[in-house]
Structure 1
C-alpha cells in the first residue's frame, strides 16, 4: 500500500498533497495575485460540480424507475433479475456524484462546536478543518481509484443476478486506454450480456471522491483568497 510510484519524475504523494498545500500557501500569502488568476478556474469548477449534481439527480430518477419496474414485474407475475443490485448501484452513484455539489451548497453536516468557540481564531480553525478534510478526502480518492483498478485486474464479478452489456463495458474501458488501442478494444468486445464486473459500479465512487477532494481544496483556496468561507448553507423554511 506504499507504492507511491513516480509521476512525471516526482512521487505521487508530492502531486496529491505537497503541490495543493503549496498552492494554498500561495493563496494565503498572495491573495491579490490569486484573485486575478483563479476566478476563471472557479467558474469552470462550479460548472463541473453542478454537472455532477445533475448526474446524481439522474441516478436518483433511475432508482425510482427501477422501483416502478419491480412493482410492474411483480404485478405481471414476471421476473426482473438483478433489479435490487441495479438499484443499489444507482444509489451509490447518486451518493458519490452528489458529494461535491452538496458540499458547495452547504448541504453536508458540519459539527461547528469548536469553530463557534474559536472567537477571533474562527477563520484559522475553519481553514485548518478544511485542510484536514481536503487531505482526508484526497487519501479516500486515491484508494478509491486503487480499489477500482484492483477490481479490474482481478476481474471481480458480481455475486447477484445482475448483468451488463459488453458494449457498455467496452465504452467505459475506452476512458482508461489510449485512443490507438480503441479499435482492438472493440474488436474483442461482444454483443451479449455478462455478469456485472465490480469495477463498473465502482467508477462513480472513484469519480465522486475525486470531485469531493478537488472541491475541498478549491474552497479552501477560495477561503484563503477572499478571507471568508465560500460555503454557504441554504436556508430551510
Structure 2
C-alpha cells in the first residue's frame, strides 16, 4: 500500500511539472506571438488554467516531503503525549478540510459539466476541463492528509527536523 500511495504522490507531482512546462509554452507562445505579430487566442486563459492545475497537483507531494508551511511555535515547546495529541488534532483538522475541499472541487467540476459552463474569454473552453486539475489535486491531497493522520496515529510518521523547515534555497 505504501508503494501505491507514494507512486500516486509522485505521479501527481509529475503531472504538476507537466502543467508547468505547458504554462511555459503558453507564455513563450504569447511573447513570441506579440514580437512577430500574430495572436493565438486563449493563451492567457490556458496559462492560468495550467498554473492553477500545477499548484493543486503539487499539494500532496509537497505535504509528504514536509515542505508545507507549519507554525511550530507551540509544538517545539511540547513533548510526549501533548505534542502527539496536538499533531493528531492538526492532522485531523487538515484531513477534514482537505476532504471538504476535494468534495466541493469534484462537485464544481460535475456542475460545470452539467450546466455546460464555458470560459468567458476568447477560448470558450468548457470549464470542467481545467477544473479537473484542481479536483484531482485536492483528491490526492485529501488522501495524503489521511495518510499522514494514519501514520501519526500508528506512530510511524517521520517528523521534519527543526532546522529543515528554516532552509531557504
Q: TM-score, normalised by structure 1?
A: 0.66
CA gap 1:97/1:231 in 2 versus in 1, 3 angstroms: farther
- State how far apart, in whole Å, the 2-side matches of 1:136 and 1:118 are: 25
- State how far apart, in whole Å, the 2-side matches of 1:232 and 1:48 are: 21
- State how far apart, in whole Å, the 2-side matches of 1:126 and 1:99 are: 19
Q: Residue 44 of structure 1 corresponds to which residue in structure 2?
A: 4
Per-residue Cα deviation, 1:133-177 (whole angstroms, up to 9, x for no partner): 101110111111111111111111100012xxxxxxxxxxxxxxx
- Of the three residues 206, 217, 221, the one matched with 2:135 is 206
Please state how far the C-alpha of 1:228 moved relative to its aligned partner: 5.1
Q: Residue 157 of structure 1 corresponds to which residue in structure 2?
A: 118
More strand by share: 1
Q: Residue 74 of structure 2 corresponds to which residue in structure 1?
A: 114
- State how far apart, in whole Å, the 2-side matches of 1:232 and 1:198 are: 38
Q: Does 1:130 align with 2:91?
A: yes
2:69 is paired with a residue whose SS is coil
Q: Residue 218 of structure 1 corresponds to which residue in structure 2?
A: 147
Q: Residue 65 of structure 1 corresponds to which residue in structure 2?
A: 25
Q: Residue 80 of structure 1 corresponds to which residue in structure 2?
A: 40
Q: Residue 51 of structure 2 corresponds to which residue in structure 1?
A: 91
- State how far apart, in whole Å, the 1-side matches of 2:15 and 2:94 are: 24
CA gap 1:211/1:74 in 2 versus in 1, 3 angstroms: same
Mapping for residues 187-206 of structure 1, pairs under 5 Å: 195-206=124-135
Provide the aligned C-alpha RMSD in A.
1.7
Q: TM-score, normalised by structure 2?
A: 0.91
- State how far apart, in whole Å, the 1-side matches of 2:27 and 2:96 are: 38
- Choose 115-124 or 77-86, whichever is displaced more: 115-124
Per-residue Cα deviation, 1:104-142 (whole angstroms, up to 9, x for no partner): 011110112232233331111111110111011101111
- State how far apart, in whole Å, the 1-side matches of 2:2 and 2:109 are: 29
Q: Residue 143 of structure 1 corresponds to which residue in structure 2?
A: 104
- State how far apart, in whole Å, the 1-side matches of 2:45 and 2:19 are: 14
Per-residue Cα deviation, 1:184-223 (whole angstroms, up to 9, x for no partner): xxxxxxxxxxx21111111111111010010011111112
Alignment length, in residue pairs? 164
Larger radius of gyration: 1
- Of the three residues 14, 23, 27, the one matched with 1:54 is 14
- State how far apart, in whole Å, the 1-side matches of 2:128 and 2:134 are: 10
